[in-house]
Amino acid sequence: MPPVAPHFQTVGCLTGEVPVRATESDVLARHVGIVKKSIPESTHMTIQFSTVKEPRHLRISLKRGLAKQAVSKAQKAQADDAAIFSELRNVSPNRRSMERSVLRLRKSPGVVRAGIADDQIIVIFRHACAMLTRVDGVDLFSENVLIYTRVSASAGKGKLGIRINRVSFNQHALERLIERSRCRIRPDFLSSVDAEAAAALKLAQDGEWIEDNGDDYIQSRENGVWAGSLDFSSAEPEWDLQQADAQIPVFSARTFLGPEEMKPSVWLRWQDDPCLSFVA
């Protein structure tokens, strides 16, 4: 499906600014900004996991702690944006150089995927950030999010071609994934989120999302969809892009919907059969 240009309003300017879609209920201009600062650590928490299949009530009781633990774990292994982009700029346009760079990138903190596809290096890295929401220049609230960045880089003739997109998950979205899906409840829940992000980034880059009545949805690896909006963020200064004011597309996942929570129109699109075709 071809990308649909979102409608949004923004005011002010923050590092990593992510405008939010304006809806009919909006009475004030609003925007959110991604602020890379430390998230205060709470009292240490340990969760014991069982190999027995988890009932729904267990998922509901564990969802908040498990989601917070994932964000806290990501906070301790933040990606080094400057080092990642420096590595990509030093790649020579030959397979051996690309392979060496991929091996180095895979050892970097915060890098969740790195590999070669179609003569390009593709790297996905994450940050745990405080996302600040402002309305009419007034700070309303800050929430902790995981934001993932996918960079496709190709080197040749002294130039580096780069394509970037991002996806973010707030804590509420992670909690709903645990509650409404059959994802494994395990101590390393962050790795499940990493896999979800990698899949969502690829779908978003290819324009494969569902647009319905002003809202956007992306297929999950689990049985459901991520619901949110297609926004834009400013390029991070550590990337040192030639176009410093470049706007980076971001799919902001704000909740997870299983089949029972979807609107009928979204469910039909998710089934890839919006017309309920008859097959003889």
- Percentage of the chain surpassing pLDDT 90? 50
279 to 88, 269, 273, 275: CA distances (angstroms): 49, 17, 11, 12
Residue 108 banded pLDDT, cuts 50, 70, 90: very high
- For residue 193, pLDDT beyond 60: yes
5 to 128, 148, 207, 214, 245: CA distances (angstroms): 27, 21, 11, 10, 18
Structure tokens at 232: 């834009």
- Of residues 163 and 140, the one with the higher pLDDT is 163
| 8 Å CB contact between 228 and 188 | no
- For residue 238, pLDDT beyond 80: yes
Nearest to 182 by CA among 259, 235, 107: 259
- Of residues 280 and 144, the one with the higher pLDDT is 144
The DSSP string of 237-253 is GGG--SSTTPEEEEEEE
SS3 per residue for 1-29: CCCCCCCEECCCCCCCEEEEECCCCCCCC
- pLDDT for position 24: 33
Structure tokens at 117: 């596809």
- pLDDT for position 42: 47
Structure tokens at 249: 């597309």
**Tokens 């996942």 belong to residue:** 253
pTM confidence score: 0.79
